[in-house]
Chain A
């Protein structure tokens, strides 16, 4: 893209004009703060070793580490001093859905702005270093909505890797923002899109695709790309294709009538096994009777589980071969994805330490698998739900509450509603205390399958009216942060609030957990008691992923805020008295007072 070039050109022109003025200004200019040394000077290429074992002060990928914990080892900000936290700097972002996770490396903070603008900022001062703006097709801009938000970016070698709203993967030069390469993965005109970003494994760029409800046969996919060119190296289809041993799991529906199974969240990586773990979303349309997977066929060899929707895929990154899979929810008919972050940890189970992959789906059920085999190990429920009436304690097989299944011509009740008891705002895990922190919401849906605007190409999951309500006998609280000790699955604490929980959580080695929500309040909890130690009301809904980093020995906590995310807007219908501004996306950065 020529944007970075144009920006640099403008900068040079500005500098050329400004130079004589600065010389003329003489001593007056000396009263201004001395320009900072080139912050890019010390930026090192990011190596595989750095990704495997990142510096404590860096945040190099979506959940910071390959195990998906979203945990910061920094402890300068801790329980005893977090009450003194102050705004260090703030930076306005492009208005719109703001679900970003900053990348921080060697004192530079990289941030995604709505509508495909990426900026490199001095992480200590908030000064702009470079900016990349993508020339998006006008149609995409006109459609606006959630699709121009991105939850994460990736960094490797001298490149910042981004997934664009027109379904390209782009490598930007870390130091200049210039485009290194630009690869079109799919045709956005057919509805393909990216809402998550890349994931670097073994020197390759891995990326999941979403928007797979349109006329393209075969649903979504995860691709791997050459780090130097973007060329595609392999592709894993998230819907079983003919020839796949699980192809007959779609109730006899042919490939061209199978939709969905988006891979809209980045993965995790187990370097010991050399295995990548990706989650897969629900089949489309959401209502099973509409997509032809109900009523179930009785023909031999045919099932209606709709693989590989709502599954974990364990993928060999060298070949793209799926080593194993596990499906959490068969024939999903509620839009209850199991697509979110996969956490890799070794924990005791039945007297043995097991290598686990743990995830929590929209049902709010935490589930653990053996990550070497895919064997199901255990589950723990959190929010009220009525979809699963029983979980087999040996196999994990779920018995579905038949009364919660939507049917054409009827209104049924399902809890949670389609945005999920947990949505894409990520859970996080403190390995020191073996505690998982979850942003949760309690609500239900009166679900009525309904024809909507028929006649045009099918592109989405909807085709039902989801009238969201509070759970029966609710006390009015919707949002909730739970702390659960995973080694024994005990509840440590639960914080409940009226405002929906719409941001990710951030536990740190300082014993605090940061969280924010629709009510604009960014909080720090004591990670062992759930006591609120500090809070600040920001300007807008907290809808991004908080991160912690350090520069020159000073720890910072950063979180982006902004209105427009469809997830948050859906939850907000439950709390109409909590309003947030239309505009005002901002990156907030906090630190303890500078003693100097």
Chain B
């Protein structure tokens, strides 16, 4: 726990002041009234400041495929900050697993109601509203193409009359779309928008598409619950480059002090190998981001 070690090496008064300052940062209205530009929340006055003690309240979204890993990393961050971890698990009811919103308003409610920081968000440029800020990434993962045809080593081996099913709206989906738009019609694969990674994997197993473009952590998670996905064969994205995304955590923009400390904690946990250890232990297809 690098940052924790740092704090523990600090002179006692300085350490004390650091901790108090950190606590004050998120005692200041995490659940305050709506600022200009924040989403509208009915009766927002119901969500007051959290009476924080020495805790780090964080949200983990069980709908995210990486949530067991995010949970371990969040706990490690709390420990690095010498704070008690307080987890709020979102969407753990599988019946609501598909109920993600079409905007970030749900996240705002989450942050004023339940947690100081929410883990499991991809660092997409310009994708987040001004009232949100995102930490430095704690891992990087790739989008992968998978198929049932073991004879294909790369996407280039797949005939153009076989469609690609891509989970809608990912950066890899958009890169694939741009590639398809750039090549002559005769060299284009058809691309089918898929509602989810699971839908894309199901379509490739049933033969509806030639290859599925999915988020590697989702493939990792879905293989653990669906035997049919285990035998799927990953192929290189050639002629496209590998698409990756960095994953971090989000906070309200006004939580700049807390964000700074979490960034330091992630940096320390990356440097001392803690995050690499968590990823390795889970067999997770991600790498720490130096």
Contact surface of A with B, Cβ cutoff 8 Å: 95-96, 114, 139, 142-145, 189-191, 213-215, 252-254, 256-257, 259, 285, 289-292, 294-295, 297-298, 407-409, 448-463, 465, 563-564, 569, 576, 582-583
Contacts and interface: CB of A to CB of B under 8 A. Distances in A.
B102 A461 contact: yes
Interface in B75-127: 93, 95-106, 109, 121-122, 124, 126-127
Nearest to B215: A455
Interface of B: 33-34, 36, 40-45, 63-65, 93, 95-106, 109, 121-122, 124, 126-127, 165, 167-171, 173-174, 177-178, 180-181, 185, 188, 190-197, 199, 203, 208, 215, 217-218, 245
A389 B124 CA distance: 34
B168 A452 contact: no
6 contacts: A144-B109, A215-B195, A257-B194, A285-B169, A451-B124, A453-B104
B100 A457 contact: yes
B278 to A, nearest CB: 19
Given A189-B96, A408-B178, A453-B127, A459 B193 contact: no
Contacts of B245: 454
A576 B36 contact: yes
A37 to B, nearest CB: 37
Contacts of B109: 142-144
A256 B191 CA distance: 13
A95 B106 contact: no
A452 B127 contact: yes
Contacts of B106: 143, 145
A142 B41 CA distance: 10
A460 B168 CA distance: 11
The 3 A-B residue pairs whose C-beta atoms are closest, nearest first, are A460-B102, A454-B170, A215-B195
A143 B197 contact: no
A261 B182 CA distance: 29
Contact of A453 (B41, B121, B199, B203): B121
Contact of B41 (A144, A191, A451, A456): A144
B129 to A, nearest CB: 10
A294 B208 CA distance: 20
B197 A455 contact: yes
A321 B190 CA distance: 33
Contacts of A95: 42-43
Which of B98, B168, B197 is most buried by chain A, counting CB atoms within 10 A of its CB? B168
Contacts of B199: 215, 256
Nearest to A252: B190
B40 A455 contact: no
Contacts of B122: 451, 453-455
B168 A463 contact: yes
Contacts of A458: 167-169, 193, 195-196
Given A95-B43, A143-B106, A455 B64 contact: yes
Contacts of A294: 181
B190 to A, nearest CB: 6
Contacts of B40: 563-564, 569, 582
B134 to A, nearest CB: 11
Contact of A96 (B42, B65, B93, B174): B42
Contact of B169 (A256, A257, A290, A297): A290
A565 to B, nearest CB: 9
A432 B222 CA distance: 63
A117 B198 CA distance: 37
A298 B193 CA distance: 19
Given A257-B192, A458-B167, 13 more contacts: A114-B42, A144-B42, A144-B109, A289-B181, A450-B126, A454-B170, A454-B173, A454-B215, A455-B122, A458-B196, A460-B103, A462-B103, A569-B40
A295 B42 contact: no
Nearest to A565: B40
A455 B286 CA distance: 15
Given A215-B199, A290-B173, A454-B167, A459 B126 contact: no
Contacts of B208: 254, 256
Nearest to B180: A295
A456 B100 contact: yes
Contacts of A408: 174, 177-178, 181
Nearest to B167: A454
A272 to B, nearest CB: 40
B174 A459 contact: no
B41 A143 contact: no
A389 to B, nearest CB: 22
Nearest to B245: A454
A189 B63 CA distance: 13
A143 B174 CA distance: 28
A564 B197 CA distance: 33
A320 B64 CA distance: 40
Which of B64, B109, B127 is most buried by chain A, counting CB atoms within 10 A of its CB? B127
Contacts of A462: 102-103
B42 A292 contact: no
Contacts of A291: 168, 193
A459 B101 contact: yes
Nearest to A258: B193
B219 to A, nearest CB: 11
A583 B148 CA distance: 55
Nearest to A454: B170
Given A252-B190, A289-B177, A292-B191, A454 B43 contact: no
Given A291-B168, A298-B185, A453-B127, A409 B178 contact: yes
Contacts of A144: 41-42, 105, 109
A582 B39 CA distance: 11
A456 B42 contact: no
A143 B100 CA distance: 9
Contact of B168 (A252, A290, A407): A290
A290 B175 CA distance: 11
A408 B178 CA distance: 7
A456 B194 CA distance: 11
A143 B42 contact: no
A213 B100 CA distance: 11
Given A139-B96, A292-B191, A455-B65, A448 B44 contact: no
Nearest to A563: B40
A295 B95 contact: no
A244 B100 CA distance: 31
A191 B99 contact: yes
A295 B188 contact: yes
A576 B41 CA distance: 18
Contacts of A290: 168-169, 173-174, 177, 193
Contacts of A576: 36
A569 B105 CA distance: 12
Given A139-B96, A448-B126, A576-B36, A454 B171 contact: yes
Contacts of A451: 122, 124, 127, 169-171, 173-174
A289 B182 CA distance: 12
A97 to B, nearest CB: 8
A452 B104 CA distance: 9
Contacts of A455: 64-65, 122, 167, 170, 197, 215, 217-218
A189 B167 contact: no
Which of B43, B45, B104 is most buried by chain A, counting CB atoms within 10 A of its CB? B43
Contacts of B181: 289, 294-295, 407-408
Nearest to B100: A456
A96 B43 CA distance: 8
A452 B193 contact: no
Contacts of A461: 102
Contacts of A254: 192, 208
A500 to B, nearest CB: 15
B166 to A, nearest CB: 9
B127 A256 contact: no
Nearest to A187: B95
